[in-house]
Structure 1
């Protein structure tokens, strides 16, 4: 437990400044240096909580983390739920004494989304039995490929973890779960999405500031005032101040302004729509959302929405975004937590995605009817999917006709034939 104490327990006064969230998982998103770790150094303040409040980054991170966090991770054997497995409770309910499964997976997916990599330490007892999984701050982990056995001949891959006291711990691959992000160039380390999006975020902030100034000045550039004659600098400043006081702001957007004799106002028709700043703002959101595997409807931008209902949106989100992420988790867990023998015996951990792919009740019941009458779905199987208790006789396959058990199909015709043949 010495290694874990170094990661999770506070050792100095500086740690008092870290949030309760940090005490649990080693991350403080309110830290002023948080976003600088992604290489983002802007004139605008895009760090910590203010950065996550950028609606695209915040919404994308939140939806992805919560979508995976709420899914149940279960162990199966031959496609049947395997509750007797020693890791079932740990994966399904409580990976470690400090957090529940939903917070564990939300933490990991947040790190995968923002940092490109997520890590979890595999704790074992003296007999080698897995007794806990602990997420580790990605910033404190370095993955080393040791082709020349410089560190040791035991492994060609090492994870070096730096704890809160600055001490380095060298871990073998079977001691660390490594979940790579959506983008990787070498298959070994994920890329931080915000490194790539640095320029996009900067442009988005600059665009928003310009839009705010546009609104402040009445939604559009009004025009040019022409004066036949000469004005000294003092007179120009006085006129500019008086004219702006009559025309600026939403309250004066459609009011009438009176000009002194000799002045002529020539309007310029350049609205925000003409300048396409609102469109540019939406494009920025779409670009950010697409990078995180999200769609515009997640950001309440329904201008070009193509889905008719929530069910279609959920299925699209699963196919285009979640399925790949869940596969990353499942394959790493299979490789690190299960033996080769168990894998060959079809023992595996899978996320239950029924809640995501769940159709409306009419569509579901129609599908069950077709499956049951077609003889390839049992009645109790359909009931389990609806969280209903089994019924007697519901574990038998039926076929259409008189809805008799499949092994009895044709018996009634056989008896009738024998009787008529006498």
Structure 2
């Protein structure tokens, strides 16, 4: 659409006359974007979301108790069974934790509604958790009741607008597990990488769209058409269409098109190499991954990686990125799910991060053997780690019989355990 037509349509709109409301160029000229490009469609952003969400979903949640003898596995509770077996009739724990972490990273906050009820007095009169439901973060609004509108001055509530039914619900703070990203200036709400680095993510999306257009046009550049003489607008449009149909598109790649005398086609596009397109695209990808705490090898950038280097980067990801996320989840779960008597008995929930630290079978067997031989693991504990049943006599710690306490070094050389070593 040329500028004259744009102005004409704008004037018609002001006069209330009919205009081309679906004209893409007119809407964009008026500042109305006609295209909704999702951040998740950018491959680096999508990869980072996938890696973080799946990493959390891989780790099983365990229920422990701290005793005088150390940490032991505690008897399962209703809440523990929900979070480790089936949180609701439609989801597995893997699906629930993956969904919450994806919402948390994409929107800055993730929420789980803990649905429960108080049992009658004849059944103990305690609060019982029935099931757990992740909520879409863009439909949740935290509300601080500063004046006591709902009878709780200074308390936090969560309003949820169900996108399927349109109904609205109001939940107490104790009924909602609220997970957030590290970037939170007020401690209540988190900010997502998408909103903080919106320009970087949009730029990466724009570069992807540019590549798509190049492929759609058969990797042909835009051209200027030079001709002699005076042609009407109608004939110019016919020429444009003729050469556009003959040169653009993957079906015309490498095709020879005859050009009449007096007509010249000159490419206008700057080459990708001159624009350092791929270098800038790679730099943007590393910036997005770095903001998420993702290492270069995890987004398939192996330029400066070796096998051992990649293994080190994977360990660094678990320590530097996921350890914070795991600790934050554990604290929120223990703060919202544990009952007062469980807290008094020093019971707690903990993710098993060892499930994502598994090595090859040879290294795994060597490590377990060393742990058993040095009295760190009991044989049955090592067998449990390998998903093998317990064996009789395997609940004892064993060490090498040649080991002695450091305070008795040299005593083995004395006669009858007495005297000097020189006797």
1:14-413 alignment runs, 5 A limit:
44-47=35-38, 52-78=40-66, 79-127=71-119, 128-153=127-152, 156-163=155-162, 166-211=166-211, 231-232=228-229, 252=254, 271-305=271-305, 308=308, 311-402=311-402
Q: Deviations over 1:36-88 (max 9, x none)?
A: xxxxx8554414xxx54432232222222222223211111122222333322
Gaps of 5+ in 1: 1-40
| 1:324, distance to aligned residue in structure 2 (A) | 1.8
SS at match of 1:274: coil
Residues 369 and 152 of structure 1: CA distance in aligned 2, closer, same or farther (over 3 Å): same
| 1:368, distance to aligned residue in structure 2 (A) | 2.9
User: Is the 1:219–1:271 contact (alpha carbons within 8 Å) kept by the matching residues of 2?
Assistant: no
User: Is the 2:295–2:313 contact (alpha carbons within 8 Å) kept by the matching residues of 1?
Assistant: no
User: Is the 2:42–2:208 contact (alpha carbons within 8 Å) kept by the matching residues of 1?
Assistant: no
Q: Deviations over 1:326-358 (max 9, x none)?
A: 222211110011134423533111111212112
2-structure distance, mates of 1:320, 1:327: 12
SS at match of 1:75: strand
2-structure distance, mates of 1:216, 1:393: 69
User: Is the 1:314–1:357 contact (alpha carbons within 8 Å) kept by the matching residues of 2?
Assistant: no
1-structure distance, mates of 2:91, 2:229: 72
2-structure distance, mates of 1:81, 1:351: 13
1-structure distance, mates of 2:188, 2:343: 23
1-structure distance, mates of 2:269, 2:201: 30
2-structure distance, mates of 1:331, 1:171: 20
Q: Deviations over 1:180-236 (max 9, x none)?
A: 1342221101113322333223322332344456678897989999x9xx95466xx
1-structure distance, mates of 2:180, 2:92: 22
**Cross-structure match for 2:12:** none
SS at match of 1:80: strand
Q: Deviations over 1:241-299 (max 9, x none)?
A: 98x9799989559x9x99999x9x9x999752332101111222222223333233333
User: Is the 1:82–1:88 contact (alpha carbons within 8 Å) kept by the matching residues of 2?
Assistant: no
2-structure distance, mates of 1:169, 1:195: 27
SS at match of 1:207: helix
User: Is the 2:42–2:204 contact (alpha carbons within 8 Å) kept by the matching residues of 1?
Assistant: no
2-structure distance, mates of 1:94, 1:400: 44
The RMSD of aligned alpha carbons is 4.3
**Cross-structure match for 1:23:** none
Residues 372 and 415 of structure 1: CA distance in aligned 2, closer, same or farther (over 3 Å): farther
| 1:143, distance to aligned residue in structure 2 (A) | 1.2
Residues 122 and 222 of structure 1: CA distance in aligned 2, closer, same or farther (over 3 Å): closer
Does 83-92 or 66-75 show the bigger shift?
Answer: 83-92
SS at match of 2:416: helix
2-structure distance, mates of 1:401, 1:268: 82
**Cross-structure match for 1:12:** none
Residues 272 and 381 of structure 1: CA distance in aligned 2, closer, same or farther (over 3 Å): same
Gaps of 5+ in 2: 1-31, 120-126
**Cross-structure match for 1:25:** none
| 1:390, distance to aligned residue in structure 2 (A) | 2.8
**Cross-structure match for 1:20:** none
2-structure distance, mates of 1:284, 1:146: 42
Looking at CA atoms only, which structure, 1 or 2, has the larger radius of gyration? 2
SS at match of 2:151: coil
Q: TM-score, normalised by structure 2?
A: 0.70
